[in-house]
Amino acid sequence: MATDLGATRGDGIFESLLAVDGVPRKVGAHLDRLAKSARIMDLDIPSAESWQRAIATAVAEHPAVEELVIKLLVTRGVEGAQRPTAWVQAEPAGPTGRRQRTEGVDILLLDRGYDSNLAERAPWLLLGAKTLSYAVNMAALRYAKANGADDVIFTSTDGLVLEGPTSTVLMATERDGVKTLVTPLLENGILPGTSQGALFKAAADAGWQLGYGPLEPKHLFDADAVWLVSSIRLLAPVKSIDGKAIPVSLTMTEELTKLLAEGSRD
Amino acid sequence: MATDLGATRGDGIFESLLAVDGVPRKVGAHLDRLAKSARIMDLDIPSAESWQRAIATAVAEHPAVEELVIKLLVTRGVEGAQRPTAWVQAEPAGPTGRRQRTEGVDILLLDRGYDSNLAERAPWLLLGAKTLSYAVNMAALRYAKANGADDVIFTSTDGLVLEGPTSTVLMATERDGVKTLVTPLLENGILPGTSQGALFKAAADAGWQLGYGPLEPKHLFDADAVWLVSSIRLLAPVKSIDGKAIPVSLTMTEELTKLLAEGSRD
């Protein structure tokens, strides 16, 4: 309804997941994060079993779709009803994500306006919850496009790398045959990435070293490769940061994309 | 539609205005601010004339309602449609606002996480636009209620008083017969309050001195009266801040409430 507090206040939470050839990926991780967002937002949500049935229905309704985007949404409900609204929607993935996987992205570093210690001391700011209040994330993407880039990496006021508006930041180094995959510290107020989690697990099993920030922009410039990773677009290699080209590794992108697919089967 | 980007991304803008005995208040100021929000958000919105007609329809559909809340909303539209969705909704005002006008509110100071110079240097953060992404504002109100208060005054990381989640902060002093009304600096990244604007104009005409921050919490504790002001609730006297009682002035509340009503006729 138009009077739903999701529509009038952005007061709700969501998850976007990908089903490939009829198989939804990382369902457990998405439902875990949805439950965490619900706790932070003080929202009652349907059981995991209900979501699983709805996801299965969405997949069944879209046979022969190679890549299906499935969104899970919960709002605080229609004004006055005192009861959340929950639904699942599904549609074939658009071409942009797939193009960015192969062609890569140019990104801008943009100040998120928060310092990296805020999450702990200000729970009302909802850092760590994936809410429907994404206007700033969308505005940052518009700003990037208006300035010749494709996407954004947010930084904190104290100079740390945070996350993309709809993605997690990853970087890799290879030194003396040792490959290391690094992502920013979760404690800095970023969303825990389900793709990053799945990839880290699979990469560790495949012999990669893992690292967690704090990361500064200079670390990205010094890396052997940087990616934005998200559930729908998967791994998008970063080609440039603030107009300055950085190294892209086809080999590592290919290897990590394979590991991500393996790690996403649950 | 459930796939409207207003519902799935909080990607839109709004205004809430009050009609008293069939007369909508401050229509011009609300339409001006809606247009400003639209510019910041890069949204095309209907003409002022269309809104005025819709507001008149909403009022006509609710005869004999003493206080009618009218909301104007615009979203980026249904996903893929490339066209905004705009609507007006109206309903009788609930009892809470009216109660708070007479009984006052206990407030908590909560860190908004932003410094007071951010608006200028980070336009993608949409400070100064009244967006549908209000999850943080709603979470702050829930936090206040869970901690025994009614409402919130946000502060900046550099210690300045900003605004309420759905209101503007006002304070008054009376020294040697001179009455002064003060509100935080707009440049600190707060929303320009239509009620504050209307009241300031009427108060100046009535002989009040006007002042604009920067305000710190200590100024609120030293004031002769503090209010939260908004279009629906009007002037709500602040009774306590972080559990510490502050002076309430019935005389000034009465005088300013009258001036606000006069200033709101346009």
Q: Is B11 on the interface with A (CB under 8 A)?
A: yes
- Chain B interface mutation, best of A44, A72, A124, highest count of B Cβ atoms under 10 Å: A124
- According to the model, what pLDDT value does residue B187 have? 85
Task: pLDDT band for A198, please (50, 70, 90 cuts).
Answer: very high
B:169-188 residues touching chain A, CB 8 A cutoff: none
Of B73, B126, B135, the CB nearest to A11: B135
Asked whether B208 and B173 are in contact (CB, 8 A), the reply is: no
Q: How far is CA B79 from CA A91, A164, B73, B84, in A?
A: 11, 21, 17, 10
Instruction: Please write the tens of the pLDDT for every residue from A72-121.
Output: 999 999 999 999 999 999 999 999 999 999 999 999 999 999 998 898 88
> Taking chain B (266 residues) in consecutive chunks of 10 residues, what is each chunk's mean pLDDT?
96 98 97 98 97 98 96 96 96 95 97 91 94 97 98 96 98 96 91 97 97 96 98 98 98 97 90
Tell me which residue in A111, A124, A135 faces B139 most closely, judged by beta carbons: A124
Find the residue in B nearest to A152 (Cα).
Answer: B124
What chain A holds in terms of domains, given with CATH numbers, is: 5-93 (3.30.470.10), 98-263 (3.20.10.10)
pLDDT value of position B68: 98
> CB of B151 within 8 Å of any CB in chain A?
no
- What span, in angstroms and rounded, lies between the C-alpha atoms of B155 and B159? 6
**Rounded mean pLDDT of A59-77?**
97
For the residues A228-232, what does the mean pLDDT come to?
A: 97
Segment A180-189, tens digit of pLDDT:
999 999 888 8
Looking at the predicted structure, is the pLDDT value of residue A2 above 80? yes
State the nearest Cα–Cα gap between B254 and chain A, in angstroms: 31
Task: Look up the ipTM and state it.
Answer: 0.95
Question: In this structure, which amino acid lies at residue A67?
Answer: E
CB contact under 8 A, A42 and B142: yes
Judged by a CB distance cut-off of 8 A, whether residue A123 touches chain B is: yes
Between the CA of residue A56 and those of A17, A32, A53, A93, what are the distances in Å? Answer: 12, 17, 5, 17
Cross-chain residue pair A135–B71, CB shorter than 8 Å: no
- Residue A10 is predicted with a pLDDT of 97
d(CA A255, nearest CA chain B) in Å? 33
Long-range contacts of A41-48 (CB under 8 A, 24+ apart): A41/A11, A41/A12, A41/A13, A41/A126, A41/A129, A41/A131, A41/B135, A41/B139, A42/B142, A43/A12, A43/A13, A43/A74, A43/A76, A43/A84, A44/A84, A45/A13, A45/A74, A45/A84, A45/A86, A46/A74, A46/A86
Q: Which of residues 29-58 of A touch B (CB under 8 A)?
A: 41-42
Q: Determine the average pLDDT of the residues in A244-262.
A: 97
Minimal CA separation from A173 to chain B, in Å: 31
* Contact between B122 and A113 using a beta-carbon 8 Å cutoff: yes
Burial label, A69 (beta-carbon count in 10 A; 0-12, 13-18, 19+): buried
Using CA coordinates, name the residue in chain A closest to B85.
A2
Tell me, what's the pLDDT at A186? Answer: 86
Pick the residue with more confidence: B80 or A235? A235
Amino acid B120: pLDDT = 85
Strands A23-24 vs A105-111: parallel, antiparallel or unpaired: unpaired
